[in-house]
Chains A and B, each alone.
Chain A
């Protein structure tokens, strides 16, 4: 994994960002008509579409939980989302991401309100450029709110990592590929609880703490964008007629 590429130059990164700078994020809520809730998100070069269905009765029956709803997130990368064509269908990686996102969302949705039900979250990655699981989760949160599903909080995710022995926020594609650590984290911004935390590579305790602080800052910034996207959609709907 040792690279010859200089990932840092004069305190700026390859794409000209400062170490604690996020890529450009735009979020649109309620873009699909057939789905009960939906969201389209662009995060740097990532393009993610999320559709939410439910709550509805879980089928097959044995998956039902008589006390609460289950959350079924399905993360899928389009064949054309990466440089070499990705073989369509679920693979080991996408099943892992589906699982961790489902579990993160289960902790903020008020699942006790819908016994025996399922809430389906379809996350479709149309264009990938590092950090798609964070982008997927962030978009899924907005889509869930758009679907009118009761939640304790709007989760938000963001990654930090280590490149050229420096801790930076929100890794880009080359930084992810040639960097030495990647740390995606999802939090519940109201309480600061951690919903998802994975780490790829090695970080010392100090580096980890620094990365964690960066992620918190990034998440809070993204959280504002999420809220603005939802309010924009509904306030304009009520205002303009």
Chain B
């Protein structure tokens, strides 16, 4: 493989001894040896050996911002799909509106999209989300795109560098959910450009210096338009 590509590991692959390094995410320890537990990319830079997954479901973490799609409206709550292994519960107390018992359908219905925050993940992995935070609301208009949840950090970039780049050059409003759903709103060409670029970032997520590469690309394209 090229030098600028990262190493791909598969489950059960031997990664190192426990006395040299600490076992991080995506690994397990057996008899003092560290093995990969998931298909992913090896990250061996710090004290920890991590495996960043290439595929798989979103693993919900409290306080993550996510984009959910309502599966069902119940008497006093909604079930929301957030691309995790389990549906998440959104209780009427966790929305900014005053809702009478049984009138949940008037506010959110099956198929509606929302921006939410993961409120709680318990031992049994029962999930609760909330709409009570800044800038969280029901999504009206725009487009929702999907990426692998593990690639979300690449879309956002270091301290949001990649995402602000996208916003700057396409003049779109973008909201990236940690669960791999991305909401984009703006003019048609902008949305198209964002989707294309996201696809590119996802495909090349393993190469280094990606932010610069994308910036050059976006710059070139904007020049062509004007």
Contacting pair A115 B125 (CB below 8 A): yes
Closest B residue by C-beta to A151:
B11
0 or 1 for each of A230-241: is its CB under 8 Å from B? (1 = yes): 110011001101
Contact of A116 with B by CB under 8 A:
yes
Residues of B within 8 A of A117 (CB): 85-86, 125
**Contacting residues of chain B (139-170) with chain A, CB-CB under 8 angstroms:** none
Interface residues of B in 53-102 (CB under 8 A from A): 53-57, 85-87
Q: How large is the interface on A (under 10, 10 to 19, 20 to 34, 35 or more residues)?
A: 20 to 34
B residues in contact with A227, CB < 8 Å: 10
Beyond A54-B85, A238-B8, whether A146 also contacts B124 by CB under 8 A is no
Contact with A along B31-67 (1 / 0, CB 8 A): 0000101111000000000000111110000000000
Within the assembled complex, what's the spacing in Å between the Cα atoms of A148 and B10?
10
- B12: A residues at CB distance < 8 A: 151-154, 189-190
Which of the listed residues A66, A231, A238 has the most CB atoms from chain B within 10 Å of its own CB? Answer: A238
Bound Cα distance A204, B124 (Å): 48
Residue tally, chain B, CB below 8 Å to A: 29
Is B28 positioned at the interface, with any CB of A under 8 Å from its CB?
Answer: yes
B2 beta carbon closer than 8 Å to chain A: yes
B-side contacts of A239, CB under 8 Å: 1-2, 5
How far is B52's CA from A1's CA once the two chains are assembled, in angstroms? 54
What's the Cα separation between A137 and B125 when bound, in Å?
Answer: 29
With both chains docked as a complex, state the minimum distance between the C-beta of B150 and any C-beta of chain A, in angstroms.
Answer: 8
Give Cα A21 to B151, complex, Å.
43
Q: 8 tightest CB-CB pairs across the interface, nearest first?
A: A148-B56, A148-B55, A55-B85, A153-B12, A151-B11, A150-B37, A190-B12, A150-B38
